[in-house]
Structure 1
Amino acid sequence: MKIAHLILAHSQPAQLERLIDSLQHENAYFFIHIDRKVKSSHFSFLASRNRVFLISNRERVRWGAYSMVQATLNGFLAIAGSGIAIDVVNLLSGSDYPLKSAEEIHDFFAKNPDKNFMEYRFIPEEWKEAETRFTEYHLTNYHFRGKTMLQRWMNKFFPARKMPDLLVPVGKSQWLSITMEAVQFILNYLDEHPEVVRFFKLTWAPDEIIFQTILYNSTFRSKLINNNLRYIDWSAGNASPKTLDYEDVDKLLASRALFARKFDMARHPEIFDMLDKRIHSHS
C-alpha cells in the first residue's frame, strides 16, 4: 500500500520536517507544496530526504480563494506524473500531525483499499450557510482595483449562480484521504469540464466543496466514506480550529482518527513529544 502524503505548507520548516519524520515508512512518499508567498529556500533541505518531492509548480495561496484548489491540483498532477504506483493520496497541511504510527496508518488503508475518506454535508439541507458561497459571485481569487465594488454590483444585478453540469453540491472539510483512482478521475473531470473550473473560481472557499462534489456526483459515490479521519476542535466557534496543546493529549489519543490539526511547534512544542511517546508505545 503506497501512500502519497500531499502536504500544503507555508511556514515552520522544522515542524514540517517532524511531520515527515512521523510518517516515515518504506511505502510512504511525500509531495510538498510550499506556498509561493514564502521563500522555497527555507524548505530546500527537505529535497535531499528519501522519497520527498518538492512540487515545482507553486501557487500563491490566499484564504478562501481557488488558489488553494489549484495548489492541491498541482500536487495531484505531480503525484500522477511521478511514475510511482501510488494507491492512496492523503492531503495534509503542514500544521497536521498523526495520531497513529505510520505502520498503523498503512495497515488501515490496506484494509480499506477502495474507500475514499472525506467529510461532506448536503448543501443547503445540512450546511445552509455554505449556499451563498456558490450562488453569489466571489472575486476572492482575483486581484485588481475596484473588485469589491464590482463584486457588489454583480451580486445585485446578476441572477443567482447555479451549479454547472447538474452537480449536486456537497462539502465541508478540505482534508481528505482518497484513492489514486479518484484523484485521476478528478483531474480528468476538470480537464474535460472547463466550465466547472470557471464556476469554482468565482466560489468562496471552493476547496471545501469541489472535490467532494465531483466524486459524489460520479460512480465513486458508493465508495465514499463520510469521515475524513481527522480530529479537529471547532468547539470555540471561530473561523479557525483550536490550536491543540498538552491539555488535549488524552482526547487525541482516545480518538479513532488517524490525524489531527492544528498544531504549532513554536507555541506548544511539548505536545509532539507527548504524542510520539504514547503512539509508539502502543504500536
Structure 2
Amino acid sequence: MKKHVFMILAHNNPEYLNRMVSMLDAPNHFFIVHIDKKNELLLEHSAITLLKEKKNCTVFSEVSVNWGGLTQVLATLALVRKALNSEDHYDYFHLISGCDLPLVSATEMDRMVENDSIKGYVGLVEMDWSGLRKLSSRYRLFHFNDFADRRNHNLKTILCRSIEMAEKVFSKIGVYPRCDLKMPVYKGSQWWSLSRDVICYVDDFLKDHPKYIKRFQWTSCIDEIFFHTIVFNSPFASVIEKNNHRYIDWRKLSKKDKPPRILTEDAIPEIEKGCFWFARKTDPKKSELLIKYFEEKVKG
C-alpha cells in the first residue's frame, strides 16, 4: 500500500485543520503542516498541539508567506524538503491548503493513485499566444508582493505600484525589463498530487539549477508556473494527468466576489458530478453544512 503525505499550507483556522486531518487519517497517511510565520503563534494553539501529538503529523513554521510572492513557492519547497528528508518513504505527495475539504475517503484516495503508469495529477491551463504573452508579465516585469503589502496604502506600496504601472505601459509595446525564461512555460493550479519519482526529479532539478529559483524573485503569482514548468519540461511530462482533481469555483458573481469563492452547501451537486478529491476554498463558518456533509460521507 502506498504511503501518502499531505503537505498543508495553512495560516488560520487551527480547529478546522484537525477536522481535515481526521477526515484523511489512515495508517499509511502522513501530514506535514506549514504555518505561515506571520501567524506562528498558532503553534501554541491547543488544536495545533493536538496535531503535533499525532505520530503521523509534523507541524512547523519557516516562511512568512505573502500573497502572490515567491514566498508561496518557498513555503511549498520547505514542505517538500521536509517530506523528502523524513525517515518515512512517501510514495505520493499532495499539496493542499488549510482551507481544503477532502471529498473522498482514505481508502478511495489510496485506490485513485494505484495506477503506476500515471506519475502525477497537475491542473494545466492551455494557452494561445496572447495568453502566454499576458502570462509572461508575471515574471518579465518586476513585482513587489514580497516587499510591499498591497493591502496597505503607505509610501512603500505606492512607490512599488507606480513602478509596476510604468512597466505595464512599456510591456504593451513589447519592452520588458527582464528576459524570457529559457524553456517553455506552463501554467496551472497551485495545488497538485505528484509521485515520489516526480518530486525527486523536481528536487534534483532545483539543486542542479539554483538560478531557477533566483529568476523568480520579484515576480507575481508564480506558484502557478514554478512547478508546472519543471514538470512539463521533464521526462515525466507524458505520464502526468492534466487534472489535479480539485473543485475550485473561480466564478465572480458580484463585485464583492474575490475568486476563488468560498464554497457552501450549494456546491454539493456540482462537486458530485465530477471526480474530485478536494474542494476549496472553505470557511468553517460559511461552509459548515458543506463540511459536515462530506465529513459524514468520507468517514462512512
Fold conserved (TM > 0.5)? yes
CA distance in 2, matches of 1:91, 1:78: 13
Paired residues, number: 279
- Residues 100 and 112 of structure 1: CA distance in aligned 2, closer, same or farther (over 3 Å): farther
- Residues 262 and 112 of structure 1: CA distance in aligned 2, closer, same or farther (over 3 Å): farther
Cα drift, residue 97 of structure 1: 1.1
Cα drift, residue 44 of structure 1: 3.1
1:198 and 2:214 correspond? yes
| Residue among 246, 260, 266 paired with 1:247 | 266
Q: How does 1:258-269 map to 2 (within 5 A)?
A: 258-269=277-288
1:33 and 2:52 correspond? no
Q: How does 1:205-216 map to 2 (within 5 A)?
A: 205-216=221-232
CA distance in 2, matches of 1:202, 1:124: 25
Cα drift, residue 239 of structure 1: 4.3
- Residues 194 and 147 of structure 1: CA distance in aligned 2, closer, same or farther (over 3 Å): farther
Q: How does 1:1-283 map to 2 (within 5 A)?
A: 1-38=2-39, 39=41, 40-42=43-45, 43-56=48-61, 58-112=62-116, 114-122=118-126, 125=129, 127-128=131-132, 129-143=134-148, 145=156, 146-151=159-164, 159-164=176-181, 166-236=182-252, 239-281=258-300
TM-score by length of 1: 0.90
**Two-structure CA RMSD over aligned residues (Å):** 2.3
CA distance in 1, matches of 2:86, 2:194: 17
Amino acid at match of 1:55: F
Q: Mean Cα displacement is larger for which, 70-79 or 42-51? A: 42-51
Q: Gaps spanning 5+ residues in structure 2: where?
A: 149-154
The percentage of counterpart residues that share the same residue type is 26
Contact 2:117 2:239 in 1 (8 A): no
- Residues 55 and 94 of structure 1: CA distance in aligned 2, closer, same or farther (over 3 Å): same
Contact 2:8 2:98 in 1 (8 A): yes
Amino acid at match of 1:189: F
CA distance in 1, matches of 2:277, 2:123: 14
Q: Gaps spanning 5+ residues in structure 1: where?
A: none
- Residues 236 and 152 of structure 1: CA distance in aligned 2, closer, same or farther (over 3 Å): closer
Cα drift, residue 205 of structure 1: 0.5
Q: Mean Cα displacement is larger for which, 59-68 or 193-202? A: 193-202
- Residues 112 and 98 of structure 1: CA distance in aligned 2, closer, same or farther (over 3 Å): farther
Q: Mean Cα displacement is larger for which, 98-107 or 147-156? A: 147-156
